Amino acid sequence: MTSPEPDAVGSPSDRLERIPILTRSHRGWIVVLGLLLFFDMGDLNTFAYAAPAIREEWGLTVGDIGFVTAMSFLGMFVGSIVGGRLADRFGRKRLIIAATVFYSLFSLASAFAVGVVDLAVYRVLTGVGLQAMTVVLLTYISEMYPKRSRGRIQALILAFSLLGIPMMAGFARWVIPHGEGAWRWIFVLGAVGLVVALVAVRALPESVRWTSANGAGDRSDRLVTRLEEEARRRTGAELPPVEQQPAPLPATPGEMFRPPFGKRVLVLSAYMIVAVSVFYGFNAWMPTLLVENGYTTAESLTFSSIIGIAACPGALLAMLFIDRVERRTALLVINFVVAGMLLTFAFVDSYGVLLVCGFLLVLIMQAGTACTYAYLPEIFPTRLRGLGAGIGNGAGRLATFASSFLIASLLAGLGSGTVFVALGCAGIVAGIVIGVFGERTRNRSLEVISEGVGSEAEPGQSATEAGARG
């Protein structure tokens, strides 16, 4: 194998940052990562699509369905934190594959459930695996793609993965009418992620940054050398010089709650609690809220189907600005726009106006999701990146569990208009939290953002990096 060129002296992560294009390997990883998240997104919604048939077949109450749904979110909370921590200990690739196998097996087990208790257990464990995989996959993307493109890659993979939702919905609409027990095939399809996990074993390397930080520098050096050669062959030119970045810090989980990372955890968790509650508050409750506003069930379901089309284009929309605009600024603006549109739902009665507003709302929310997915792992050091992203994501999942009861209480006591006002105000709070207190990450390497932040100066920081800091 070709040795690094003379000016390539530096750590593997330093050399990874200087690669100016997406190589053939980079593009191949996008396909595998996209498929992993595609089936993750599809499985995330399997119970929602199977629930009506299960309820009819088993004679369940609405409360039973709500119980299984709520417990699933608790499983996601646990999976986010535990999965992130295990990825910091044992590697990103191992956890991506292990979590995919884990959730797929329990999705398959759900197909053989005989009652609401064992189904709830299976869905909790499925939720653990689903969110462990999501958090670690986002971390992997942030570590394996250069600062110039990691936001766009997150957005592209999210956009593709969102197609898993209509795929699962279409399959459910086709299979459920086939008769009693047909709903079980929905969970079988949710387990197809096992196939992609087997492909990932061969196709994905371990994270360059994780291996370098955990004493396997030779392996990451060989991988980056291959990427450099691919880039030279494609561009026909030498690569830019290496800019040395701060070295990975030795870190323990306790440091997540001390300066400077304690503030980052607090701000991220507060933002995720509010923002995710707004996201799920609108998407999960919107059909019910429209019916409460006087629209028919048919009109409500038609509304949901039409605005759902905007999800994938919304993530693609983020590619236009995600690496050009500071992420915390983009999220501030996005949350303010979302808040304004939610307030429109509180005070406007025209079905046509609400339909256009709802479409734009989903479009902008998914653009915000892409920015959030990029931001989550960026603000923590390599040895704690999985745990930090997991805590933030887990806080959002736990908030979804709690906010469901709050929204139900507001709806019962004060009506749908009050719910939309509350969600709008929450959107404003989310924008302020991230826009004022969030970290700057645009066009900065992960090392400059998080390694050595406690020192007065950041060794190896270039003038470009310093300027990006602002």
Q: Could you tell me the pLDDT band of residue 122, with boundaries at 50, 70 and 90? A: very high
Bigger pLDDT: 61 vs 135: 135
Are 269 and 217 in the same domain? no
Q: Which residues contact 386 (CB under 8 A, 6 or more apart)?
A: 83, 84, 85, 86, 87, 88, 92, 95, 135, 136, 139, 377
Are 204 and 264 in the same domain? no
Tokens representing 412?
């019962």
Q: What is the dihedral of CA 387, 388, 392, 395, to 10 degrees?
A: 50
Q: Which residues of 83-122 are buried (b: 16+ CB within 10 A; e: fewer)?
A: bbbbbbeebbbbbbbbbbbbbbbbbbbbbebeebeebbbb
User: For the whole model, what pTM was predicted?
Assistant: 0.89
Nearest residue to 327 via CA among 444, 156, 159: 444
Bigger pLDDT: 415 vs 430: 430
DSSP H helical segments within 379-415, as ranges? 385-414
| % of the chain surpassing 70 pLDDT | 93
**Half-sphere exposure of 357 toward its Cβ, with a 13 Å CA cutoff?**
20
Bigger pLDDT: 417 vs 395: 395
**How many domains does one find in the chain?**
2
> Of 248, 266, 287, which marks where a domain is finished?
248
pLDDT digits (tens, 9 = 90+) for 225-267: 999 999 999 998 889 998 888 877 777 888 888 888 999 999 9
Are 227 and 302 in the same domain? no
pLDDT averaged over the chain? 87
| Of the listed ranges 329-333, 362-366, 369-373, 462-466, the one predicted with least confidence | 462-466
Are 228 and 322 in the same domain? no
Are 377 and 260 in the same domain? yes
Are 225 and 309 in the same domain? no
The span from the CA of 470 to the CA of 465, in Å, is: 9
- Residue 129 CA to chain centroid, in angstroms? 14
Q: What angle do the packed helices 24-44 and 150-161 form, to 10 degrees? A: 40
Read off the CATH number of the domain in which 404 is found.
Answer: 1.20.1250.20
State residue 424's pLDDT score.
94
- Residue 299 CA to chain centroid, in angstroms? 31
- Domain of 403 in residue numbering reads as 252-470
Burial class, 5, CB count within 10 angstroms (exposed 0-12 / middle 13-18 / buried 19+): middle
Are 206 and 281 in the same domain? no
State residue 297's pLDDT score.
66
Are 244 and 266 in the same domain? no
The span from the CA of 279 to the CA of 352, in Å, is: 22
pLDDT digits (tens, 9 = 90+) for 364-382: 999 999 999 999 999 999 9
Q: Which residues contact 22 (CB under 8 A, 6 or more apart)?
A: 30, 145, 149
Q: Residue 237's CB: how many other CB atoms inside 10 A?
A: 9
Are 5 and 46 in the same domain? yes
> Of 233, 248, 263, which marks where a domain is finished?
248
Q: Residue 317's CB: how many other CB atoms inside 10 A?
A: 18
| % of the chain surpassing 90 pLDDT | 57
Tokens representing 308?
């759902």
State residue 281's pLDDT score.
84
Q: Are 245 and 460 in contact (CB under 8 A)?
A: yes
Are 240 and 278 in the same domain? no
State residue 177's pLDDT score.
85
The counts of H helices and E strands in the chain are: 21, 0
> Of 232, 248, 264, which marks where a domain is finished?
248
Are 209 and 264 in the same domain? no
Are 133 and 230 in the same domain? yes
